[in-house]
Amino acid sequence: MGSGPTVSRLELVIFDMDGVLCRYDRALRLRRLAETSARAPEEIFAAIWESGFEASSEAGAMDADAYLAGFGERIGYPLTRSQWIDARRQAMTPFADMLTLVASLKQHVSVAVLTNNGFLTKETIGELFPQLPELFAANLLFSAEFGARKPDPEVYRRLLAKFRVAPQAALMVDDDVTNVRGAEVSGLHGHLLDGMAGLVSRLCSFGHAG
């Protein structure tokens, strides 16, 4: 993707987290949770993801403690915070080249993260992905904070209001086509991640080589 409004320069580049700044292996996470809880990975997936529980958390429906308690109830095991962190962290492998690109890019334009995640991920991100707080500081944002999740156009509108940036001056980089389309519907530029070369080329088209 890549069509949308035209603008000579960007003011804000927004990155997704899982699949963009890191490899996210949910199958590995499910296996770790299964080892801990003695439930089958398929049962855990159904109880958390297929049920809509995770999506509800991502939309801000519950705080971190309520989410962790609900997670444990649904998998039939009193999962501790540290066990949840361990399974999530093991499933995440940072993309060093992307982090280097962001560090270079932020010298010329504002950068932010917008990830579909709840308040427990927000509270523990320093343990899950310590490079992100260092790199993005206060611009590390979670959908739960906005009460909506991608691809709902409302989450993009609320994020832009926070930064006081016009939609046509912002670019959303995501690995999910529906999230990119949601951004474009909201007037932002969208880029479906197709590798480092494609992203660098897109940034260059705005005058940002990274």
Q: pLDDT 10s per residue in the chain (210 long)?
A: 544 444 458 999 999 999 999 999 999 999 999 999 999 999 999 999 999 999 999 999 999 999 999 999 999 999 999 999 999 999 999 999 999 999 999 999 999 999 999 999 999 999 999 999 999 999 999 999 999 999 999 999 999 999 999 999 999 999 999 999 999 999 999 999 999 999 999 999 998 765
CA distance 21 to 175: 10
Q: How many independent structural domains does the chain possess?
A: 2
Same domain, 200 and 99: yes
Same domain, 53 and 146: no
CA distance 45 to 210: 38
For position 207, what pLDDT does the model report?
84
Same domain, 103 and 71: no
CATH number (domain holding residue 201): 3.40.50.1000
Same domain, 189 and 114: yes
Query: Which of 90, 124, 145 is at the close of a domain?
Result: 90
Q: Classify residue 210: in a domain, yes or no.
A: no
Query: Positive or negative, the Cα torsion across 171, 105, 148, 165?
Result: negative
Same domain, 102 and 175: yes
Q: Which range marks the domain in which residue 65 is found?
A: 26-90
- Residue 12's H or E segment, with its range, is strand 12-15
Q: Classify residue 2: in a domain, yes or no.
A: no
Q: Are 79 and 68 in contact (CB under 8 A)?
A: yes
Q: Classify residue 126: in a domain, yes or no.
A: yes
